[in-house]
A and B are shown apart, each in its own frame.
Chain A
Amino acid sequence: MRPSREALAGTEERSDALVRVRPGEGRTVSVHSKTGPMYEDHIAALVRTLLDGYGVVGAHVEVREAGAYDHVISARLEAALSRSVGSEEPFRSPLPPPSREPTSRDRPRRSRLYVPGGNARMLAFADSFGPDCLLLDLEDAIALPEKDSARFFVRRALAAMDFGATELWVRINPLDAGGADDLALVVAGHPHGICLPKVEDPSQVLALADLLSSFEEAYSVAWPLWIMPIIESPQGVLAAAAIARASERVACLAFGAEDYTREVGAERSREALLWARSQLVASAKASGVQASDTVFPNVEDEEGLREEARQARDLGFDGKGAIHPLQIAVIHDTFAPRADEVAWARGVLEAAAAAAKEGRGAVAHEGRMVDRPVLERAKRILAQAGEGSDAD
């Protein structure tokens, strides 16, 4: 691979690196690190290894970093190189798989936190925020000229960071608007699922499922990726049930209120959203998948968030979107089972256990028959309660 033109990627902001690739004879690597001599050799070696791996010749590489982690520097270098050779194709290679467990389709998804996919500073500690679902965003949050760089970034961050029990998602663009290119890189980072925006028709889900099958194989991902369609238009709301049933991969329907209210010409209010949200919940539940409510846009308004999250919970949603890590605790707190629910669930399980011991088939608790859905609901409540409350 030989760079054909000068290219830059990244920034000089905190936690980021600016990488410049210039074509020329031979190969040089120069590093300017904010830490001074502490990491300059380490970073130069990192760059050389990557250049060797991609077989790059005839390139002068300059790195200026301000607290960037190794994978940030790698991602910025890959972005600069791809800009310099004019193609992402050579970089669609597997990465060393992270040690990561698959997730179940019905795991708790109380919170789904969006983090801009290209922002080094915001991603620097994203491995410690602890939402149920972390969505690295390649759609709305990314300016078009930085889209390619963000793809490389998300791929590297997914592969390098240990996010613990958090389920990892990438929100890509619609497939016909760059989403396919997103997938071609990010699946290499072994996420748990893909979040697809602006879904209005089951065919969009099917197309994504097809692409996923091929990338999973190419990148040896050990699990089938889940799909979270985002329903954010009146057409999408009307087709929600069909969308939820389009593929076994669909784990959760997410609602996007901003675009929906714009398209129907409504002001955002509880009443304006009520039908759409209820329709979405019913479609999801009738199809055996979860439903996640829209984000609450005002980070400073904690009470407003708590109120809206409570509404969502009461409508039957399983979780809610967040745009700031500080919203997670409030959401988890709201979606945590109430004390009376936990007591009820405990009673159900005790009644079931007693019945099983006595060899009785029929189980009743508080005068109501306990059938399988009731038993499972009780188990789910206790599992959620067991995770504790994060509120403070």
Chain B
Amino acid sequence: MPTNALGREIPDAVAGRPLRPYPGAFATVPTGRRAGGPLKTIRPGANKVAPSLDEAIRRSGLRDGMTISFHHCFRDGDRLVLQVVEACARLGIGDLRLFPTALFPCHEPLVRHIGDGVVTRIEGSLNGPIGAFISRGGKLREPPILRSHGGRWRAVACGEVEIDVAFIAASEADPYGNANGIHGPHACGPISFSVVDSWCADHVVVVTDNLAPYPAVPPTIEQGYVDQVAVVDQVGDPAGIVTGTLRVTRSPTALRIAKLAVDAVAAAGLIREGMSFQAGAGGTSLAAQEILARKMARAGVHAAFAIGGTTKYLVAMLKEGLVRTILDGQAFDGEAVQSLRTNPRHQRITPGFYADYNSLGCATYMLDFAFLGGTEVDLDFNVNVNTHSDGQLLHGIGGHQDVAAGARVTVITMPTLRGRVPVIRDQVTTVTTPGEVIDLVVTERGIAVNPRRPDLAEDLRRAGLPVRTLEEMKAAAERLVGKGKSPIWGDEIVGVIQWRDGTVIDVVRKVEGWA
């Protein structure tokens, strides 16, 4: 079987679709032209408002076998995906390919529609139950392809994925199709994931529970790309935006890791006037952000910009002037939505602006440093965020690849042990992000520096920080728990992990046993 640049075995094709092996983080040279939707026109006086969601689906021309797309700005509070799939079931439309940006635990009822053949394929980030269902061998006709935020935008923009009907949940929309996610009783955030869908889909339906008079501004989704507007009782529950642990951790271990991570970027000279950073929304990242904020305040320096996912903690830094601009693709709490609505320095961006590989500029390429997590890391600094060590496919990629590829210093924070499972492996179960773009791995036992960055190793040593090798930290963890068994992989492929350029960095296979 052919292998990619990381030595991972990648089949020539999966379910008839050819796979291109990953050649290196920046080796792919794109060819061709951008994709776009069909040309259409409209006359003055036309009415785009459909009498119901069912009628909008009927008018869209959606048929068996087609592809429908969604954004995930409501995260675990999304109500649209299931409403559309249930309507399709009612209308007798099946064999659909679901192309959401991400699915969450609230989408577990999809399992039933997969069983009934309404949905037969899914491409998107799979968080939780749907991923677990697929890892157990749940019957999708094709294994899901997982993409980063930038990767998904690229796939649509270059025509790799053709969307038949895009359903775009909007907390506010006007009858002409202008739509946003920052106004209305159920405001959820930027909704800019769907901009490329609106450009490229054959048919675009904006779905809202808050029809406003023309013009609804800002027009994140523009009228010129929207075929229909459908009104439903509720598109989503903003309470579900806050998922997981969106608060600063009190765990001494996580705090130690967070502090070491900040000390490391400080030692590298990156806490300075005009700096830039991205910090995620996990407990450790938030703690790191809080420590960073204090350090910046003490040093009297300001960040030119920070990239969201945005939480109230980042919003506080914007308000205090520690951060001059937030570039935001995703809101993680109500304070972030409120800030998007009211603060002009809190700027909505699309995943294309953020990280499209096939473009002449990515915000992530302008980052000084970023704190990211992961489920595993290996001795080559490859990071896994998709699967657990038991082979279960449980998480999406998010912006992990995009940020790691762009930031000058990418810091992975993780404890050396989760329960009794060592996080540092000889080889990661699944490669999500290649070691080529990872600089530091920070655990409670110390900081490992990628040998590609001897400059950083020297900075850290000079600052008296505990520099350890991954091998040392791995051995320390294994002294407490032994090595354990690893999965034996079957031939069946349950997931394809794309690198952000569209090549395949790894595939997830079904677990057949243990050795």
Q: Which positions in A face B, CB cutoff 8 Å?
A: 14-15, 33-39, 41-42, 46, 65-71, 124-125, 128-130, 160-162, 324-326, 388, 392
Contact A14 B419 (CB under 8 A): yes
Contacts A37-B485, A129-B256: A69 and B514 contacting too (C-beta < 8 A)?
no
Closest to B418 in A: A67
Contact of A70 among B444, B464, B482, B485 (CB under 8 A): B482
B444 contacts A128, C-beta separation under 8 Å: yes
> Which of B134-142, B225-233, B247-255 touches A?
B247-255
Q: A41-B485, A69-B481, A129-B256 are in contact. Are A35 and B421 (CB under 8 A)?
A: yes
Q: Using a Cβ cutoff of 8 Å, how many contacts connect chains A and B?
A: 77
Question: How far does the Cβ of A372 sit from chain B's closest Cβ, in whole Å?
Answer: 30
- If A66-B419, A71-B480, A161-B480 touch, does A38 touch B485 (CB 8 Å cutoff)? yes
0/1 string, B400-440, CB within 8 A of A gives 1:
00000000000000010111110000000000000000000
Given contacts A38-B390, A392-B263, 8 further A-B contacts (CB under 8 A): A35-B484, A37-B514, A38-B485, A39-B481, A67-B419, A67-B421, A70-B482, A162-B476
Verify A125–B444 contact, CB threshold 8 A: yes
| Interchain residue pairs A-B with the least CB separation, the first 8 | A67-B419, A325-B252, A128-B444, A125-B253, A37-B514, A69-B480, A38-B484, A39-B484
Q: Are A160 and B415 CB-contacts (below 8 A) given A38-B514, A128-B444, A129-B252? A: no
**A388 contacts B464, CB within 8 Å?**
yes
Cβ of B262 and Cβ of A392 under 8 Å apart? yes
Which residues 287-344 in B have Cβ within 8 Å of A in the complex? 291, 294-295
Determine how close the nearest CB of chain B comes to the CB of A66; give it in whole angstroms. 7
12 A-B pairs within 8 Å (CB atoms) are namely A14-B419, A34-B420, A38-B514, A39-B484, A67-B418, A67-B421, A69-B420, A128-B445, A325-B256, A326-B252, A326-B255, A388-B464
Contact, CB under 8 Å: B484 / A42: yes
Taken together as a complex, chains A and B put the C-alpha atoms of A388 and B259 apart, in Å, by 15
Q: Which residue of A lies closest to B257 (CB)?
A: A128
In Å, the complex CA distance between A69 and B416 comes to 13
Closest to B254 in A: A125
Residues of B within 8 A of A41 (CB): 485
Query: Within the assembled complex, what's the spacing in Å between the Cα atoms of A388 and B444?
Result: 18
In the assembled complex, the CB of A342 is this many whole angstroms from the nearest CB of chain B, namely 16
Is there contact, CB below 8 Å, between B419 and A38?
A: no
Tell me the minimal C-beta distance from A13 to chain B in angstroms: 12
Residues of B within 8 A of A326 (CB): 250, 252, 255
Point out the residues of chain B lying under 8 angstroms from A161, CB to CB.
Answer: 480
B252 touches A324 (CB 8 A): yes
Q: Note all chain A residues with C-beta closer than 8 A to B250.
A: 326
Given contacts A39-B481, A392-B259, contact A15 B419 (CB under 8 A): yes
Q: Chain A residues near B479 (CB, 8 Å)?
A: 160, 162
Report yes or no: A125 in contact with B421, Cβ–Cβ below 8 A: no
Residues of B within 8 A of A35 (CB): 389-390, 419-421, 484
Closest to A327 in B: B252
Contact A70 B419, beta carbon cutoff 8 Å: no
Whole-angstrom distance between the Cβ of A42 and the nearest chain B Cβ: 5
A392 neighbours in B (Cβ, 8 Å): 259, 262-263, 291, 294-295
Residues on A with beta carbons closer than 8 Å to the beta carbon of B389: 35, 38
Please report the C-alpha to C-alpha distance between residue A38 and residue B250 in the assembled complex, in whole angstroms: 30
Nearest-neighbour CB distance to chain A for B266, whole angstroms, equals 10
Nearest CB of chain A from residue B153's CB, rounded to whole Å: 37
A68, A161, A392 pick with most chain B CB within 10 angstroms? A392
The closest CB in chain A to the CB of B515 belongs to A37
Residues from chain B with Cβ under 8 Å of A36 in the complex: 390
Residues of A within 8 Å of B482, CB to CB, are 39, 42, 46, 70
- A160 engages B252 (CB within 8 Å): no
Q: How far is the CA of A65 from the CA of B262 in the complex (A)?
A: 35
Residue of A nearest to B291 (CB): A392
Residue of B nearest to A122 (CB): B252
How distant is B88 from chain A, measured CB to nearest CB, in Å? 37
- Pairwise interchain contact B417-A124, C-beta atoms closer than 8 A: yes
Task: Tell me the complex Cα distance, A36–B445, Å.
Answer: 26
Is the CB–CB distance between A70 and B421 below 8 Å? no
CB neighbours of A66 from chain B (8 A): 419
Contacts of B263 in A (CB 8 A): 392
A65 to B263, CA, bound (A): 36
Asked if B252 and A70 make an inter-chain contact with CB atoms under 8 angstroms apart, the answer reads: no
Q: Which of A34, A38, A42, A326 has the most chain B CB atoms inside 10 A of its CB?
A: A38
Asked whether A128 lies within 8 Å of B291 as measured between CB atoms, the reply is no
Separation of A34 and B419 alpha carbons in the complex (Å): 9
Q: A129-B256, A326-B255 are in contact. Are A68 and B420 (CB under 8 A)?
A: yes
Could you say which of A39, A66, A129, A324 has the most chain B C-beta atoms within 10 Å of its C-beta? A39
Q: Which residues of B contact A125 (CB under 8 A)?
A: 252-253, 415, 444
Which residues from chain A contact B294 at a C-beta distance below 8 Å? Answer: 392
Residues of B within 8 A of A15 (CB): 419
CB-CB < 8 A to B291: which residues of A?
392
A-chain residues with CB within 8 Å of residue B262 when the two chains form the complex: 392
What is the bound-complex CA distance between A37 and B511, given in angstroms?
12
Q: Which residues does chain B contribute within 8 Å of A33, judged by CB atoms?
A: 420
Given contacts A67-B419, A128-B444, whether A39 and B485 have CB atoms under 8 Å apart is yes
- Asked if residues B256 and A70 are in contact (CB atoms below 8 Å), the reply is no
Is there an interface contact between A67 and B252, defined as CB atoms closer than 8 Å? no
Most buried by A among B252, B444, B445: B252
What is the bound-complex CA distance between A70 and B422, given in angstroms? 13
**Which of A36, A41, A65, A128 has the most chain B CB within a 10 Å cutoff?**
A128
Q: Which residues of B lie under 8 Å from residue A325 when comparing CB positions? A: 252, 256
Of the candidates B263, B419, B444, B514, the one having the most CB atoms from chain A within 10 angstroms of its own CB is B419
Shortest CB distance A36–B (Å): 6
Of all chain B residues, which has the CB nearest A386?
Answer: B464
Cα A35 to Cα B389 with chains together (Å): 9
- Residues in chain A near residue B444, CB distance under 8 A: 125, 128
A30 CB to closest chain B CB (Å) equals 17
Docked complex: B458-515 residues within 8 A CB-CB of A: 464, 476, 479-486, 514
Q: Tell me how far the C-beta of B284 lies from the nearest C-beta in chain A, rounded to whole angstroms.
A: 13
Alpha-carbon distance between A36 and B415 when the two chains are bound, in angstroms: 21
* 0/1 string, B246-276, CB within 8 A of A gives 1: 0000101101100100110000000000000
Known contacts A70-B482, A125-B415: A39-B253 contact under CB 8 Å: no
Please give me the residue from chain B that is nearest to A160 by CB atom: B480
Q: Could you say which residues of chain A place their CB within 8 Å of the CB of B390?
A: 35-36, 38
In the assembled complex, the Cα of A161 lies from the Cα of B421 at a distance in Å of 16
Smallest CB gap from A299: residue in B? B250
**Nearest opposing residue in chain A for B294, CB measure:** A392
- Structural contact, B480 and A128, CB atoms closer than 8 A: no
Q: Which residues of A contact B252 (CB under 8 A)?
A: 125, 129, 324-326
Within 8 Å CB of A69, what residues of B? 417, 420, 480-481
**Closest partner residue, chain A, to B419 (CB atom):** A67
Q: Looking across the interface, which residue of chain B has its beta carbon closest to that of A125?
A: B253
Residues of A within 8 A of B256 (CB): 128-130, 325
Shortest CB-to-CB span from B330 to chain A, Å, is: 28
Closest to B465 in A: A388
A69, closest chain B residue (CB)? B480
A37 to B482, CA, bound (A): 14
Cα(A157)–Cα(B389), bound, Å? 26
* CB-defined contacts of B464 to chain A, threshold 8 Å: 388
Query: Shortest Cβ distance from B65 into chain A, in angstroms?
Result: 37
CA A161 – CA B481 in complex, angstroms?
A: 11
Shortest beta-carbon distance from A70 to chain B in Å: 6
Q: Given A128-B253, A326-B250, A392-B294, A67–B420 Cβ distance below 8 Å? A: yes
**Nearest CB in chain B: distance from A34 CB, A:** 6
Which residue of chain A has its CB nearest to the CB of B511?
A: A37
- Chain B neighbourhood of A39, CB < 8 A: 420, 481-482, 484-485
Quote the shortest CB–CB distance from B306 to chain A (angstroms). 19
Contact B421 A38 (CB under 8 A): yes
